Each structure stands twice: as structure tokens, then as C-alpha cells.
Amino acid sequence: MSYAEKYQFSIENREDFWAEQAAHIEWFEAPKQILSTDEKGFYRWFKGGKLNTAYLALDHHIACGRGEQTALIYDSPVTKTVKKYSYLALKEEVAKLAGGLLQLGVQQGDTVVIYMPMIPQAAMAMLACARIGAVHSVVFGGFAPHELAVRIDDAKPKVIISASCGIEFEKVLPYKPLLDEAMDTATHKPDYCIVFQREQNHATLQVGRDIDYATLVDQAPEAPCTPVDATDPLYILYTSGTTGKPKGIVRDNGGHAVAMHYSMRNIYNVEPGDVYWAASDVGWVVGHSYIVYAPLIYGCTTILFEGKPIRTPDAGTFWRVIAAHQVKCFFTAPTAFRAIKKEDPDATFLAQYDISSLKAIFLAGERCDPPTLEWLQQITQLPVLDHWWQTETGWGIVGNMSGLEQFPVKPGSATKPVCGFELKILNEAGDELPPNQDGYVCIKLPMPPGCLPTLWNDDERFQSSYLSTFDGYYLTGDGGFIDDEGYVFIMGRIDDVINVAGHRLSTGAMEEIIASHPAIAECAVVGIADELRGQRPVGFVVLKDGQNIDEASLEQQTVGLIRDQIGAVAFYRNTILVKRLPKTRSGKILRKIMRQIADGESFSVPSTIDDPAILGEIEQRLHERHVGNLNAAL
């Protein structure tokens, strides 16, 4: 069957299509209903089914006689380590950690926060929770204590699992002080904190609360897999919304397992036993889906890479890993390749490695700029396949389904909707737009398995953020269009979310922090174009009357605030003083125009603007500060 036929079938016969896919995974009890709605009116997949995600990811393969196959390769250029775990070995480690969690009183349905660097124990911790039906919430290691505390207060974990340090290039970053600060600030107090001690830094443990990971695992018995309902939560992953309060995306067990399994064959075109590598971080959705769950559920070998595309030790690292471990399918964010391209534009490192095992490169996490795509195609002569998705969906919404039918690539487009996703471009009024017209990218309900059923403890926000704008549709938050050949072009967010080096951040959250500065009356943070990171935030601030703090001091202080409260990953570097912010007469800040001015894009001045003269001042100030690309605008 062609892609078109499969796709059509998946939309017109959703239940038959997903019943067929669900049959590919091992259930303890088969689902009683393929698609249903719950008491809140939200769609649910595979109700009545019982399974265990860690069983599917580990024990199932052992039962099928593939226990000796390598499940996970830890490749860490920053510690000069390569370590391989077979399915058997990984299962043993996971089952013992799960046993340790049970001893600490963690029960099915309890939450566990995981705050860890890119070490195998991070994946083990996730799988150990899944094994006993506990709900994990991984917090990206680059987040500052404040962000961690916010997540602790929302998830209310019984236990936190962490490590003594992370390693960023050559810097050893102790985690324990960050963790202690977060636990001091958070209102909710977890019972225990399990700490994996790394040799690069030894954390001081607080007697009674902190537990040494190795000691716990050594003495713990292996825990069996707890059967859970398909609709039970597997994890919560917090992601940036438009305010300072992150959204707790819920992922269920059944829909997720089916979607993960389906995507490996049909999007990524791999087979069990193949080596699959997603160079991301377990703190992001790509890490959840494509470092840990999907490759293991599908029986591949996954790679957990603790390094960066460059300077660990050089811009050839990716090629080395691909050659050394015979990677067949590679997935990363465009930023990573922009960094490599900058350091090694002629791909001299690539020539040193045999990457003939590699069949395709997948990109996602941010818009893929055509020059990076074309450079990558040219140096590798491989299919370079952009695909678009988000934390909420957990897997690709639009992509080149290379396991079904690989379409010619159009730079700037993530290709076509993935089976199960009924994509529509709507205008303000909710009418479907014809081809080539820009609008709100929406998914007609129900979304396929794997997508969020709701937000953690916040059904109302789920409804208001995603389902209320257009009746019967999920609002993705992205703008874009579909061309007359059905190719989807995602052009960027229509809300206050930005993407900095593939990291999803909220400008609204940054504004809340900057506005807390005592000298600041109001501010606007916008994401401007950045050659390496895709976007970076810049703040425009207006001082309170009578305040005369100089711009340099203000910048230093606000940069410090963002670094302390969100983290260095926000890459917030510039605060620009202006007399007023551009606003409509009704008081709405015109952030989009500010971004367009900074990016040197043409723009039209809205008739509702309060004072058009302010735009000239913004332009002038950016020019004086050498921020943004003003060439076209000036």
C-alpha cells in the first residue's frame, strides 16, 4: 500500500488502523476498546488493556531470545568511556533499581522526579519507574534550581533520583547543590533523594534523606513488572507554555507504546537489531521517545551520548560515533549540525570515518533552515529528513515516512502528515484554508495514540490551551501552510514559545522574571534569529519613573536573574533599554514587530498602533547595541 492509501485508511478507519498496530506489542491483557472518551470527554486509546512499558522495552526481548543483544551503548567523550549493556544486563540493573524504589515505599501511581545528566542511570531510572508503575518526571539537567522546584511542587514526587554532577564540555557541574537549593525552595518535600555518585565529583549526602544509588541497587532484589492500565500515566514531562508555569504533559502507557513501536518501522525505517541514535538529552521529549523508549520497545540498540556535536573533542564526534557503533539511523536537532558546519564547513572530519552503515539522518526540534539541510545532504549524500513534532505529541506529526514511501525532500518542509494525524490549516475564524495559505496548524481530534491525553492535574488548562480555540481541533501553537502537493511547511510559533538551540523556552516566563527587577516598569522578551541556535531571547525594558540605572548594570542584573532562575540554557544575553514598548491602542505589546525589526524583516505597521514613532527608537537602539540583523530594515 502506498503512503497515500495508508494515510487515508488511518484517518477514515482510525480504530481498525490502530487496532492493527496495537497487535504488534505484547499486552498482558488486550484492550477492550480501541478508542473511547473518558468521563471528562477527552479521547483515550486502548482502554481496558494491561501492559508494562519496561517489560516491552526489556523483558519481552529477553523472552524472545535476544537477551544477549546490545540494548544500550553509553558513549561519553567527556569521560572517555564507552560501555555496552545487553538487554539482559540492562534489565537486571533496572529491576534492581525498581526493587530499591519499592523498598523506599514508592508505589504504583506515585511520582518520581529524575534530574540527571546523560548517563545510563538516567535511562535506568526511567525504566525502573515504568517497571513498578510509578510515574516519572525527568527534569532537564540544564535547568536552574527554581525551575526544578516549580516541577517538584507540581509533580509532588515521593523520591528524586539524581547524580553528583553533569559534564558540559570540560566543565564539571555539581548537581547536588542545585538539588538541595531546589528542595529547600520547594514547598513539597520528597521522602528520599537517591544520588548516583560519579567519580568526577562526590556529593555530600544528607543522612536520613539522601541515599547512595549504588548501595541501594546492590542490596535490592529485582522487582517484577507491574501490569498497568493502558490509560495509566507513564510519565509527566514539563514543557514551556506561555507563562512561567510549565505544562505537565502526560503520556500514557498503552498509546505511547503502540505509537513508539509504529514509528520505528514506519517513520525511521529500522528493524529490530539495528543501531539507532538520537543525539538529544533525556530531559527533552526526543530523549524520552527516541533515546529510551522507542528504540528499546522496538528491539534496537540505542546510544546514550554524553557529549556535544563540537569540542568533545572536535567537530568529528558525530561521525566517529556513527562509524564506531555502526549507526543505521541518526536523529538530532539542526542546531547541532549548524555548530559542526561552522567549525568544519568542508567536512574534513567526515572523510576520516566510514559512515556507510548510516542510511538516513532525521532532524527535528526546531525549524530546519534550508542551507543546513542542503549542506548536510551534500556532504553525506544521504537522505536528510526533517520532521515536525512537539513534546505534546511525543512523536512525529509531519515527516517523511521512510518506512512506507520516501518522498523527495523540499527544503523548508517537514514533508507530509504522519498516518493518524489529520492536519488542517485554519484561519482566525476556524475555516480551513486552501493550499499555500498561512494559518494556524491544527490537528483534527482525535489525535492518534501517544499524544497527550491531558495535562498533569490540570484538565482545565489542557482544554483552554489546546482545545478551546477551534472546536474539534488541537491547536499546535505553530503557524504554517500546506502546499498544493500536500507538503507541510511549519513557519514558527504563534505564541510566546521560542526554540533556543533546540531547547523549548517561554519568553513569557522570562518576562515574569525580568519584570521582578525593582527598577523595571515593563518589559517584552522576543526570540530573534541566531545563526547557531536558531533563536535567542532579547529583552526590551522600560524603567520605572525616577530610576536611572545604567543599561550595562541593568543588563548584567537581568542576565543574572534569567541564568539563576531558568538556567544558562536560556542563552539570555541582551537587555535593551527603551522609553516605551510598541503597543496597540488597547495596550497589547507588539512583540512580533519587534522581532521583525531585529531580524531585518519587512513588516507592516498595524493601523491599531498607539505610537508608530516608537518603532524607529527600537530600530535605533538595536543598531546602537549591535543586536540583531538590521540590514534590511535600515
Residues at the site binding ligand AMP, with contacts judged by CB under 6 A:
239, 284-285, 364-368, 386-391, 414, 477-478, 490, 493, 499, 504
In angstroms, give the least distance from the CB of 538 to ligand COA.
15
Which DSSP helix (H) or strand (E) runs through 250? strand 247-252
CA atoms within 13 A on the CB side of 624: 11
Residue 142 interacts, among ligand COA, ligand AMP, none and using kind-specific CB cut-offs from 5 to 8 Å, with ligand COA
CB of 605 to ligand COA, least distance (A): 33
Q: Which is nearer to ligand COA, 156 or 387 (CB)?
A: 387
Cα four-point dihedral sign 604, 606, 612, 616: negative
Smallest separation, CB 285 to ligand AMP (Å): 5
Q: Which does 154 bind (CB under 5 to 8 A by kind): ligand AMP, ligand COA, none?
A: none
555: partner contacted, choices ligand COA, ligand AMP, none (Cβ within 5-8 A by kind):
none
Question: Coil, strand or helix: which one is 364?
Answer: coil
How far is 9 from 528, CA to CA, in rounded Å? 41
Helix (H) or strand (E) holding 623: helix 613-625
Q: How far is the CB of 291 from ligand AMP (least distance, A)?
A: 14
Q: Which is nearer to ligand COA, 156 or 504 (CB)?
A: 504
Residue number, 388 or 487, with CB nearest to ligand AMP: 388
> Which positions touch ligand COA (CB under 6 A)?
141-142, 166, 168, 173, 279-281, 284, 286, 308-310, 332-333, 335-336, 339, 365, 501-502, 532-533, 568-569, 571
Nearer to ligand AMP, 50 or 504 (CB): 504
CA 337 vs. chain centroid, Å, equals: 17
Q: Which grid coordinates belong to 352?
A: 576520516
Smallest gap from residue 184 Cβ to ligand AMP (A)? 29
* CB-nearer residue toward ligand COA: 532 or 605: 532
Instruction: Give the nearest distance from C-beta 21 to ligand COA in angstroms.
Output: 25
**Partner whose binding site includes residue 387, from ligand AMP, ligand COA, none (CB under 5 to 8 Å by kind):** ligand AMP
Give me the residue label for grid cell 502537493.
Answer: 485
**Which CB sits closer to ligand COA, 101 or 501?**
501
Question: Residue 569 binds which entry of ligand AMP, ligand COA, none, with Cβ cut-offs from 5 to 8 Å by kind?
Answer: ligand COA
**Out of ligand COA, ligand AMP, none, which partner does residue 173 contact, by CB within 5 to 8 A per kind?**
ligand COA
CB of 421 vs ligand COA, minimal distance in Å: 19
Residue 304 φ then ψ, to 5°: -110, 110
DSSP assignment letter at 550: -
**Min separation Cβ 342 and ligand COA, Å:** 9
8 A C-beta contact, residue 534 and residue 366: yes
Cα angle value 606/612/618 (rounded, 5°): 110
Helix (H) or strand (E) holding 236: strand 233-239
Q: Which is nearer to ligand AMP, 22 or 384 (CB)?
A: 384
Q: Which is nearer to ligand COA, 45 or 143 (by Cβ)?
A: 143
Distance of CA 208 to the CA centre of its chain: 34
- Residue 94 vs 364, nearer CB to ligand COA: 364
> Which of 46, 16, 11 has its CA nearest to residue 28?
46
CB of 489 to ligand AMP, least distance (A): 9
CB 260 within 8 A of CB 289: yes
CA distance 274 to 294: 12
What span, in angstroms and rounded, lies between the C-alpha atoms of 501 and 383?
Answer: 23
Partner that binds at residue 388, options ligand COA, ligand AMP, none, CB closer than 5 to 8 Å by kind: ligand AMP
Integer Cα distance of 194 and 327 in angstroms: 33
Per 3-state DSSP, the chain is made up of helix, strand and coil in percentages (nearest 5) of 30, 25, 40
CA 615 to chain centroid = 35
Residue 247 or 308 having the CB closest to ligand AMP? 247
C-alpha cell at 542: 522600560
**Which of ligand COA, ligand AMP, none is residue 414 near (CB under 5 to 8 Å by kind)?**
ligand AMP
Closest CA to 360 of 417, 410, 309, 400: 400
Report how far apart, in Å, the C-alpha atoms of 20 and of each of 259, 475, 547 are.
12, 28, 66
CA distance 564 to 146: 8
| Minimum CB distance to ligand COA smaller for 25 or for 368 | 368
Torsion of CA 491, 496, 500, 504, to 10 degrees: -100
In this complex, which beta carbon is closest to ligand COA, that of residue 247 or of residue 533?
A: 533
Distance CA 599, CA 627 (A): 9
490 binds, among ligand AMP, ligand COA, none (CB under 5 to 8 A by kind): ligand AMP
Question: Which of ligand AMP, ligand COA, none is residue 280 near (CB under 5 to 8 Å by kind)?
Answer: ligand COA
Burial of 564 from C-beta contacts in 10 A (0-12 / 13-18 / 19+): middle
Residue 336 contact, options ligand COA, ligand AMP, none, Cβ 5-8 Å cut-off depending on partner type: ligand COA
605, interface contact from ligand AMP, ligand COA, none, CB < 5-8 Å by kind: none
